[in-house]
Amino acid sequence: MKVLLIILSFFPLILSGQNRYFDPVVKNDSAIVDSKYIRGTWSTYFQTVKTPLGAIFRLKIITDSTYVIQWGDSLSLKTFPVAFYLDGHETWIPKFIDENKDYIVMRQGCGNPCWIGYFLPLDDSIKPGMFHEYLDYDLNNNLIVYVKSSKIIGITNIKTDQIEDHKIEGCTSVFLGYCIDSLTIKNRILKFKWIPDTIKNSQKGDFKTEKIKI
């Protein structure tokens, strides 16, 4: 319950309707951002950025207290359907961490344990994804692995919206992530290793490999 409360406390603002994106541009955006955080935050996080593979992303101010993620190419930027608060916490600003030819990935902190991954497709036919407590991803196969509950590792194919659950038995923590030593997903193969002291009846060096079907 404590984890859930933390997540809800910092959950981004879901906008109702698309008209919010066409509000008049707020003047002097850099001054607004720097007044909420520290001087230089605007230039560090909010200016338009070109990724190593040539895609574009930016954090666009829409009111004096909210902003959105936009991404794509310079002629046609997409807008993520969730707005974020200018709340003064630099660690909660979404940051670019990865990409391939099909996706841009951004990560946002939101507490402990709380983090969110934003998977932004460059293909208009694929919906963007937002995943709390993601553990790994395989962009080439459109797969995201995340903590779904205290007993389940969830996997979602963000291209097809298919979901696959992998049930975990014996974790002694309310947060499943605290029982995992390491986890990877690649070529539709999920591999993970336990922290022995956190799993009932586990053996040192326990390691599991499971094939992903979706």
Q: State residue 21's pLDDT score.
A: 41
Cβ distance 191 to 184 under 8 Å? Answer: yes
Burial (CB < 10 A; 0-12, 13-18, 19+), residue 107, is middle
Helices and strands (H, E) in the chain, number of each type: 3, 17
pTM of the full predicted structure?
A: 0.84
**Tens-digit pLDDT profile for the chain (214 aa)?**
334 433 444 556 655 443 344 344 455 899 999 999 999 999 999 999 999 999 999 999 999 999 999 999 877 899 999 999 999 899 999 999 999 999 999 999 988 889 999 999 999 999 999 999 999 999 999 999 999 998 899 999 999 999 999 988 778 888 888 888 899 999 999 998 888 766 655 555 567 888 999 9
Paired tokens of 107:
């990560």
Burial (CB < 10 A; 0-12, 13-18, 19+), residue 131, is buried
Q: State residue 122's pLDDT score.
A: 96
Q: State residue 205's pLDDT score.
A: 52
